[in-house]
Amino acid sequence: MQLGATIPVADIGTGPSQVRDYAQTVEGLGFNYLQAPDHVLGANPATITGKGRVGTNENPYHDPFVLFGFLAACTKTLGFAPGVLILAQRQAALVAKQAACLDVLSNGRLRLGVGVGWNQVEFTGLNEVFSNRGRRSEEQVQVMQALWANDHVTFKGRYHTIDDAGINPRPASGRIPVWFGGHHEATLQRTAKYGDGWMPLAYPADESALAVFDKLNGLIKAEGRDPASVGLEVWLSLGSGDEDAWHRDFAFWKKAGVTHITAHTTYASGHHKRIAGHTAADHLAAITRFKAVVADLL
């Protein structure tokens, strides 16, 4: 089981020293990977009233490839995982190229989490279609996997055409792990067909999670794949401060076959709660305490 942490850029600051120091401390604490979210555009918070669920630009988000490219040079063993990259608002071949370069420069430390997104403002601003983003992202993954595996690719799909072309450099292994985020039925199916893992956030440590894990395993088997080859990542929020609950939930996830647990300090939705503090010291203290609490389960 791997243990990760998120980087709370909105709290600690966006400058090079802040993100470098945080990542190096996380690595020094023995965490396996660092995770960062992805948003390109956010709406003006003063003008979104009545527009439904719209993401704003109140909080900063570093581009994951730029952030992790910088941190790859500042760390030695720490893995990197966008959580998640909004794939459908980007060009597939360009993402394949960026991911390959990061994989090469980090010596294979990238795990590419992808999702379909929800903030239509971004798709409009990036001149991408919002309504077909799920179907398009499935084909994007096929395009990227082909470009990583082969020197030259000929691909003709519904949304993409490549005429005997390729990227250089490619990942040394010929692949980059792709993990799907999201909870739609189609996401489970895409994970079963093409994914190296699934990253759900909606489920607490109870029977609802076990039921959907079983469902995913059935879909994986139907694709002729071994469920053991597809990882599972969950986020465990530290906002409650309840050490007994942390240990109990961690033990539940481990027994359920979860392969990656991310200690989260800022996400607040559903059963997730953020920590009270807003400094780097507050966040680092929380994840340090958490790791000590679950040390016997690692």
**Amino acid sitting at position 192:** A
**What is the reported pLDDT for 53?**
87
Overall residue count recorded for the chain in this entry: 298
Low-confidence residues of the chain, pLDDT below 50?
none
Please, how many CA atoms are within 13 Å of residue 141, restricted to the half-sphere of its CB?
Answer: 25
Q: Set out the domains of the chain in order of their start, with CATH numbers.
A: 2-297 (3.20.20.30)
CA–CA gap between residue 262 and residue 179 (Å, rounded): 14
Contact status, residue 105 vs residue 72, Cβ threshold 8 Å:
yes
Minimal CA–CA distance to 222: which of 214, 234, 231? Answer: 214
Task: Write the pLDDT tens digit of every residue in 204-237.
Answer: 999 999 999 999 999 999 999 999 999 999 999 9
CA distances from 74 to 26, 69, 99 (A): 12, 9, 18
**What is the reported pLDDT for 74?**
98
Contact status, residue 250 vs residue 179, Cβ threshold 8 Å:
no
CA distances from 131 to 68, 89, 90, 115, 146 (A): 30, 11, 14, 14, 25
**What is the reported pLDDT for 32?**
98
